[in-house]
Amino acid sequence: MKITNAKVIVCSPGRNFVTLKIETDDGIYGIGDATVNGRELAVASYLQDHLVPCLIGRDASQIEDIWQYFYKGAYWRRGPITMAAIAAVDVALWDIKAKAANMPLYQLLGGASRTHMLAYTHANGETIEETVDKVAAFKEEGWKAIRVQSAVPGLPVTYGVEKVGSLAQAEDKPRETLWDTPTYLRFLPKLLDHLRDRFGYDLHLLHDVHHRLTPQEAAALAKEVERHRLFWLEDAVPAENQESFRLIRQHSTTPLALGEVFNSIHDCRQLIQEQLIDYIRTTPLHAGGITHVRRIADLAGLYHIRTACHGAADMSPITMGAALHFDRWVPNFGIQEYAFHPDEAKNVFPHEWHLKDGQLYSGEKPGHGVDIDEKAAEKYPYRRAYLDVARLSDGTMWSW
Ligand code: CS2
Ligand code: MG
């Protein structure tokens, strides 16, 4: 089965997405997501100008060899742009192979380990009361796990407190937001107290610190919130220095999740081997595709660490589809994030996967079950957009 064409489709149905479509001489095509929020055109060019010319004429069935060719052949290995581009190729080729075999992708990976996947979504509010009301509404809808973020008093804007799925991004240059760790550290336990008082402990609560603390601050917070029995505390500390998580681990049993920004197994090998985390958040988009996240999941499984693919709205429905087929197979599955795509995106990317009572279902269609309506995509041209940045009150740049 020869690759005859590969095209990069950039569109913005509610937010920017980059899609790779690979066509073969058998008439079967596959699609992969290559979206890196805020740096979309870098990946589009990496694909269009560098990888696509090397794809034409290759045997589409050689998924592993093509992965190794683009990883080792780049010389300049790893990084979010490179690994998202390789991921798009990889997911598209897995889609093709599963379609050619006339089976849903999870069957090709090794078959179903479960019928459905526990999901979590985002409840947020400008006040604690608003956040509590949002949690109550999601609980009513059948969600068993909910991420909670609330505006930190005194901060004009707080991460995670935006309309779910919104572009929430400036177009001329990044929006500058203010951060204040002491205020946040005093506030979060209060939010969680309110939530546990209202809902008790039979609802999984998750919280995303979003890379904002030092190891000592994270250790103190994780220790203080132990009584709330969180499902996890996510991205407590920027994790370039993987061993810094030893300090958090020494002081608390609060489960830790990390890895949505990781793009290779090397970003998390020490964290996994030293059992410094409980959930690994790598996805078939940012971490090199199905081929690579399988390797990460297998390593994690040796250390009792479970998967928890990142599922924010800034990754296309293609990644949700690929992740759910991976989730259906992977033995050490933990949970799947789902933060609703804008309606326009659902129209551009028709998909088989679906949500019911807080559980996600992969669908049974051959491939990963997601397609792209290229005509619909044309209606939403790319528009430059940036993620926010964060500064402290004295102007110091901080992690957003
Ligand atoms: C967040 C993401 O869903 C999450 O866990 O960390 O929404 C993250 O803020 C975005 O993916 C950044 O583009
Ligand atoms: Mg996160």
**pLDDT of 164 over the 70 cut:** no
3-state DSSP call for residue 379?
Answer: coil
Note whether 49 and 68 are same-domain residues.
yes
Q: What angle do CA 27, 370, 68 make, to 5 degrees?
A: 70
**Is-catalytic flag, 210?**
yes
N-terminal to C-terminal alpha carbon distance within the chain = 44
Note whether 301 and 200 are same-domain residues.
yes
261 lines ligand 1 (CB under 6 A): no
Query: pTM, whole model, 2 decimals?
Result: 0.97
Q: How far is the CA of 286 from the centre of ligand 2 (A)?
A: 13
- Residue 391 in any domain: the answer is no
Note whether 123 and 17 are same-domain residues.
no
Closest of 122, 113, 147 to residue 307, by C-alpha: 113
Note whether 24 and 169 are same-domain residues.
no
Name the residue of 310, 336, 338 to mutate for ligand 1: max ligand atoms within 8 A of Cβ.
310
187-226 residues labelled b (16+ CB within 10 A) or e (exposed): bbeebbebbbeeeeeebbbbbbbbbbbebebbbbbbebbe
Note whether 234 and 293 are same-domain residues.
yes
Domain extent, residue 19, equals 3-104
Q: Check which CATH number belongs to the domain holding 277 and give it.
A: 3.20.20.120
Q: DSSP state, 352?
A: S
Note whether 290 and 207 are same-domain residues.
yes
Note whether 247 and 359 are same-domain residues.
yes
Q: What is the mean pLDDT of the chain?
A: 96
90 lines ligand 1 (CB under 6 A): no
Rounded to whole angstroms, the Cα distance separating 230 from 208 reads 11
Note whether 33 and 179 are same-domain residues.
no
- Residue 397 in any domain: the answer is no
Rounded to whole angstroms, the Cα distance separating 253 from 250 reads 8
Closest of 283, 333, 369 to residue 112, by C-alpha: 333
Note whether 238 and 119 are same-domain residues.
yes
**pLDDT of 171 over the 80 cut:** no
3-state DSSP call for residue 49?
Answer: helix
Note whether 75 and 140 are same-domain residues.
no
Rounded to whole angstroms, the Cα distance separating 387 from 370 reads 26
Rounded to whole angstroms, the Cα distance separating 83 from 79 reads 6
**pLDDT of 166 over the 90 cut:** no
**Is-catalytic flag, 159?**
yes
Of 120, 159, 184, 380, the catalytic one is 159
33 lines ligand 1 (CB under 6 A): no
Residue 207 CA to chain centroid, in angstroms?
15
**pLDDT of 352 over the 90 cut:** yes
Q: Tokens at residue 195, please?
A: 């939530």
Q: Tokens at residue 7, please?
A: 């095209």
- Residue 382 in any domain: the answer is no
Domain count, the chain: 2
Digit-coded pLDDT (tens) for 262-309: 999 999 999 999 999 999 999 999 999 999 999 999 999 999 999 999
- Residue 164 in any domain: the answer is yes
Closest of 350, 341, 343 to residue 311, by C-alpha: 341
Mean pLDDT across 170-174: 80
Of 122, 207, 210, 228, the catalytic one is 210
Note whether 32 and 134 are same-domain residues.
no
Instruction: Please name the residues in contact with 130: beta carbons below 8 A apart, sequence gap of 6 or more.
Output: 150
48 lines ligand 1 (CB under 6 A): no
Neighbours of 374 (CB within 10 A): 13
Residue 94 and residue 160 in contact, taking contact as beta carbons nearer than 8 Å: no
List the single range of 122-136, 156-170, 182-196 with lowest mean pLDDT.
156-170
pLDDT band of 170, cuts 50, 70, 90: low
Closest of 262, 306, 304 to residue 283, by C-alpha: 262
- HSE-CB for 126 with a 13 A CA cutoff: 3
Q: Check which CATH number belongs to the domain holding 7 and give it.
A: 3.30.390.10
- Residue 395 in any domain: the answer is no
Ligand nearest to the CA of 39: 1
Percent of the chain past pLDDT 70, that is, above it, reads 98
**pLDDT of 163 over the 60 cut:** no
Note whether 267 and 227 are same-domain residues.
yes
Instruction: Please name the residues in contact with 210: beta carbons below 8 A apart, sequence gap of 6 or more.
Output: 159, 160, 234, 235, 399, 400
124 lines ligand 1 (CB under 6 A): no
Instruction: Out of 104, 132, 152, pick the residue that ends a domain.
Output: 104
Ligand nearest to the CA of 159: 1
